[in-house]
Amino acid sequence: MALSGIAGQQRAIDFLRRVLKKETVPHAFLFSGMQGSGKLASALELARALNCLSPHDHDSCGVCGACRKLREGLHPDVVHIKSDGTSIKLDQIRELVKRFRFRPFEGKYRIVIIHDAQRMLEVAQNALLKILEEPPQANLFILLAPESQMLLSTIVSRCCQVRFQPLDESHVADILVREDGLSPESAASVARLAEGSIEKARWFCGQNPEEGWKRVIDRMESLGEICILDFFPMISQWAKGCENAERDFEFIKLWVRDLILFRVTEAQKTGGACRGAGCGLTFDLSERSLKAAGQVPLEHLFILYQKVELAMQGFKINANLQMSLEGLCLAIKDFLYGKGDWNSFSKRGKALSF
């Protein structure tokens, strides 16, 4: 593969190729965009195009010694900086700065790729700033980060920013078929879940998405009928038996997204004639939740989406899973199915044990 082989990032790649063609390579790039949108692949391809021994049309040949070493991660002039634990530490940057005392060893350029640059501690960023301000010759920095705002503005202002968009579903599916050997059908269904991120798509591939989805959505749909007395044991059971909470939250988010999509598209007006994958929904949704979604104000659904995001963020910073789920599910019960369902007892008049 060469730079021109990167799928789905036409604008970014066109820009990089223009830079190569004009031979006006800046000293630092900031590739920003969500995880799995092809930032690292592009950075590596750029490194290859710059250090290729026999480039044609300003792109790498893919067969020379330098291209081979780069592909196998053995090129002495490509330096990867990755987080040590949860952050990129000052010592790592200091160690890196020491290497700048020398010219690149065998390539034309030394390429420093900083993975998850947002994880750099502030002191580390300031140390890096020093070298970004007085860039030594024949060195290229490539910072990878989801958003440029996550870095110090002084760093951002010294980098040439390249934005990477989320990939199209079709591109994600293509990559899954080509590189991961998935069947076109399952690739398409996973791609729909992935929100334009190949990394997320690969993560879903290993999670048995269909089955997990079904289990979570059953629970979501039961929220409309379940009485409060049954609600808490159900959530408690869910939290205890949960194998992959992050995935479950993802599914809840996708489900709410689907409801919003359904609410705003024509499908809602035509009485739910168009449903499922055909109109962009992730999976088939039941009549009950579609009906509920059609009746509540659209704002309620947006509030729900925000709540799911908040719960996910909370969970990432170690919030209690059961409490996060309880809060989220009560909000869904409230905003989607209405207060009428806050019954303490089961409607079916089940015999209670007290």
Partner 1 sequence: MKFQVEKANLVQVLQRIQSATEKKTTMPILNNCLIKASGEGLLEFSATDLELSLWTEMAAQVAMEGKTTVSARKLLEIVREVPQNTISFELDAVRGRLLVKAGRSRFELSTIAAEDFPNIDLYQDLPLTSCDAEVLRKALQKTLYCIPMEEESFATPGLLWHGTEDSNLRFVSSDGHRLSYYEVPASAFPGFQMPVEIIVPRKAVQEMHRLLEKESEVSIGMGEKSLVLRTPGAFLSTLLLEAEFPEYENIIPAERPYAISVPTEILFPALKRVALVTDTSYRYVKLNIGKNSLELQSGNPELGNANEIIDIDYDGADISIAFNVKYVMESISAMESETIRFEWVDDGHGGIFLGPEDPGYFSLIMPMVV
By CB under 8 A, residue 240 contacts partner 1: no
CB of 95 to partner 1, least distance (A): 9
Question: Among 70-78, 114-122, 126-134, 302-310, which window interacts with partner 1 (CB under 8 A)?
Answer: 70-78
The CA-atom distances, in angstroms, between 114 and each of 45, 80, 99, 117, 146 are 15, 6, 15, 6, 12
Taking CB under 8 A as the binding criterion, the range among 3-11, 63-71, 217-225, 247-255 that sits at the site for partner 1 is 63-71
If the CB atoms of residues 65 and 297 are measured against partner 1, the closer one turns out to be 65
Closest distance between partner 1 and the C-beta of residue 1, in Å? Answer: 20
Instruction: State the binding string over 321-340 for partner 1 (x if CB under 8 A, else -).
Output: --------------------
Contacts (CB under 8 A) with partner 1, residues 118-147: 136-137
Q: Nearest to residue 141, comparing CAs of 113, 116, 181?
A: 113
Q: How far is the CB of 105 from partner 1 (least distance, A)?
A: 5
Residue 21 touching partner 1 (CB under 8 A): no
Confirm or reject binding of residue 101 to partner 1 (CB under 8 A): yes
Pairing of strands 78-81, 160-163: unpaired
**CA proximity to 115, closest of 91, 154, 79, 149:** 79
Q: Does 232 participate in binding partner 1 (rule CB under 8 A)? A: no
What's the min distance (Å) between Cβ of 49 and partner 1? 19
Task: Specify the residue, 37 or 139, whose C-beta has the smaller distance to partner 1.
Answer: 139
Q: Does 354 sit near partner 1 (CB under 8 A)?
A: no
Tell whether residue 300 is a contact of partner 1 (CB under 8 A). no
Stretch that binds partner 1, among 96-104, 165-173, 264-272, 328-336 (CB under 8 A): 96-104
Residue of 11, 26, 57, 105 that binds partner 1 (CB under 8 A)? 105
Instruction: Kindly tell me which of 137 and 306 has the beta carbon lying closer to partner 1.
Output: 137
**CB closer to partner 1 out of 32 and 51:** 51
Count the site residues for partner 1 by CB under 8 A: 16
Please enumerate, as own/partner, the contacts of 266-269 that have beta carbons within 8 Å and a separation of 24 or more: 268/293, 268/294
Of the candidates 18, 21, 103, 350, which one interacts with partner 1 according to CB under 8 A?
A: 103
Stretch that binds partner 1, among 66-74, 199-207, 281-289, 327-335 (CB under 8 A): 66-74
The residue written with tokens 């989805």 in the block is 213
Shorter beta-carbon distance to partner 1: residue 42 or 92: 92
Complex with partner 1: residue 53 or 160, whichever CB lies closer: 53
Binding residue for partner 1 (CB under 8 A) from 69, 192, 263, 300?
Answer: 69
Exposed e or buried b per residue across 243-278, where buried means at least 16 C-beta atoms within 10 angstroms of its C-beta: eeeebbbbbbbbbbbbbbbbbeeebbeeeeeebeee
Q: Which residues bind partner 1 (CB under 8 A)?
A: 65, 68-69, 72, 74, 76, 98-103, 105-106, 136-137
